[in-house]
Amino acid sequence: MQRRSFIRLAGGGVIAAATAATLAGCSDAYPTQALEAWRGPGPQADLRRWAVAHAILAPNSHNRQPWLVDLREPDAITLHVDRERLLPMTDPCFRQIIVSQGTFIESLVLALRERGQEARVQLFAQGEFKPHAVDDRPVARVTWTAAEAPATKDPLFGQLLRRHTAKVDYDTSRAVPPQTLQALQTALTDPGVRFGATVETARLETLRTLCWESARVELLTPRTVMESVQLTRVGPDEIGRHRDGISVNSWLPRLANAVGAFDRTNPPAEGSTAYKQMMGRFEGHSRTAMGFVWLSTPTAQHTAAGTMRSAEVQAGRAYMRLQLRATALGLQVHPMSQAPQEFPEMKSWYDQLHQQLLGKPATEETVQMFCRIGYCTEQQHTPRRPVEGFVRTA
Ligand SMILES: Cc1cc2nc3c(=O)[nH]c(=O)nc-3n(C[C@H](O)[C@H](O)[C@H](O)COP(=O)(O)O)c2cc1C
């Protein structure tokens, strides 16, 4: 019933008048309060809140912003996972959520350094989470001391307010020069996180196909696609209210939503407009990849030492630096996290990805980030919740 009204609407005519009335008063504009974090905090703000205000701009899976900071200890920031903000269907081991703690930590460290403070990051001081689990123990306790004068600022800090993940097709007429890969790699400072990259035509085609085929698995598995559907925020009102998730502000979904035809309870039906748009978007992103970069960590060594979760955090820190360097170079980096996901239906693509990128199974080395690279025009930032929402009060 709902879908029928949507299709009639997409065809124009009958519902147009009612829809116009429903949308009356809605602005086309993106809600500005959802983007205010990108203006950065004022210079006079308290050091810890100033640093946290930069850290919440970090990339993170599905823009869940899964961070809670405890500021009750003076001169320290203790980071916990916000367990209300997990992605259990697509990220059943919570690996991407932990990688997203790393991006936050690296931003925090860059911000503290900008204010002349050298950070010390103590990971999992009360022990690491088990595989398939996160709990309330801290991910990191960050403290700092004044850097010896003159403080060495990191130029990557200057990219924090500019960085974004562009989720559009890339310009296929513009190749990524091989030397750009080297320039990206120099941003990485942790020898424990391995970098790989390719712009070779033959390899590109194989990896584009792997991206698209693995995306189809996520999109055609009801419980994994529903995780995204339920996090989709359509139109200025929803975007402004949630300030997280997947923001959609184009007119067709907004129109569908306005007449109650954006179904949040079922996967988009095969052949429907929503289905075609969803599939088309993922295929376009995959097919216009102009290169790929990936980050990996040695598995056996970390498993033996009980440091798998620390490795995930370190990969997140490295990814943050990589994307900031890319921003400085005018290059886009877009994670394509489907094939590296651990849910059972993805298994054959997960295995193929590890063979394609590393020539070894995940039991030896784990792909932590797999991203396409290329060029496009600058896109809009994604929303962030207000800083106070990240501060733990109890
Ligand atoms: C661990 C991780 C995994 C991600 N995986 C994907 C992905 O599979 N597809 C995608 O479109 N974006 C992915 N992203 C990018 C996030 O969606 C993006 O960072 C988030 O929406 C916030 O937007 P921003 O980076 O523009 O600030 C990932 C980011 C991280 C840190």
pLDDT reading at 141 higher than 90: yes
Residue 335, both tokens: 């994670």
pLDDT digits (tens, 9 = 90+) for 267-278: 999 999 899 999
- Last residue of a domain, which of 135, 160, 185? 160
Question: Are 189 and 337 within one domain?
Answer: yes
Same domain, 145 and 170: no
Q: How far is the CA of 388 from the centre of ligand 1 (A)?
A: 23
Residue 13 has pLDDT above 80, yes or no: no
Measured in angstroms, how far is the CA atom of residue 370 from the centroid of ligand 1? Answer: 11
Q: Looking at per-residue confidence, does 6 or 109 come out higher?
A: 109
17: pLDDT strictly greater than 50 = no
Average pLDDT over all residues of the chain: 92
Instruction: Indicate the residue among 138, 160, 182 that finishes a domain.
Output: 160
Residue 345 domain flag: yes
315 and 212: one domain?
Answer: yes
Indicate whether 162 pLDDT > 50.
yes
My answer on whether 120 and 144 are in the same domain is yes
> Does residue 164 have its Cβ closer than 6 Å to ligand 1?
yes
Nearest-Å Rg of the Cα atoms of the chain is 21
- Whether 357 has a pLDDT exceeding 50, the answer reads yes
Do 164 and 382 contact (CB within 8 A), yes or no? yes
Residues 171 and 52 in one domain: no
166 CA to centre of ligand 1 in angstroms: 9
- In-domain check, residue 17: no
Predicted confidence (pLDDT) at residue 123 exceeds the cutoff of 70: yes
> What pLDDT does residue 260 have?
87
Pocket test for ligand 1, best of 313, 337, 366, 368 (most atoms within 8 A of CB): 337
Inside any domain, residue 15:
no
| Ligand 1, atom 21: closest residue by C-alpha | 63
pLDDT for the residue numbered 28: 65
Residue nearest to atom 2 of ligand 1 (CA): 61
Are 264 and 223 part of one and the same domain? yes
Do 228 and 252 belong together in one domain?
Answer: yes
Mean pLDDT across 86-99: 98
Residue 151 has pLDDT above 70, yes or no: no
Quick check: 24 pLDDT over 90?
A: no
Cα–Cα dist 143/48, whole Å: 10
**CB of 367 sitting under 6 A from ligand 1:** no
> What is the residue with the minimal CA distance to atom 17 of ligand 1?
62
Q: Is the pLDDT of residue 148 over 50?
A: yes
224 and 79 in one domain?
A: no
Residue 133 lies in a domain: yes
Token pair recorded at residue 218: 């996520």
> CATH number for the domain including 247?
3.40.109.10
| pTM, full prediction | 0.94
* Lowest-confidence segment of 155-164, 249-258, 359-368 by average pLDDT: 249-258
pLDDT grade, residue 12 (50/70/90)?
A: very low
Percent of the chain's residues with pLDDT above 90: 85
CB-ligand 1 contact for 60 (6 Å cutoff)? yes
Q: Is 291 in the pocket of ligand 1 (CB under 6 A)?
A: no
pLDDT, tens digit, for every residue of 29-83? 889 999 999 999 988 779 999 999 999 999 999 999 999 999 999 999 999 999 9
**Total domains present in the chain:** 2
Range of the domain at 229: 2-7+163-374
Q: Give 164 Cα–ligand 1 centroid separation in angstroms.
A: 9
Q: Is the pLDDT of residue 7 over 50?
A: no
Which of 370, 366, 354 is CA-nearest to residue 292? Answer: 370
- Please check whether residue 381 lies inside any domain of the structure: no
Q: Clarify whether residues 172 and 234 are in a common domain.
A: yes
Ligand 1 pocket member 281 (CB < 6 A):
no
Q: Are residues 193 and 215 in the same domain?
A: yes
- For range 365-380, the mean pLDDT: 98
Same-domain pairing of 347 and 199: yes
Q: What is the pLDDT of residue 10?
A: 35
Instruction: Report the C-alpha gap between 62 and 135 in whole angstroms.
Output: 20
Does 393 reside within a domain? no
In a domain, residue 248? The reply is yes
pLDDT category, 252, cuts 50, 70, 90? Answer: confident
* Between 258 and 311, residue with greater pLDDT: 311
Contact 303, 366 (CB under 8 A): no
Do 186 and 137 fall into the same domain?
A: no
Does some domain include residue 380?
A: no
Among 160, 180, 201, which residue terminates a domain? 160
Ligand 1 atom index nearest CA of 323: 25
The confidence score (pLDDT) of residue 44 equals 76
Reply yes or no on whether the pLDDT at 23 is more than 60.
Answer: no
- How far apart, in whole angstroms, are the C-alpha atoms of residue 112 and residue 52? 9
Question: Is the per-residue pLDDT at 209 higher than 90?
Answer: yes
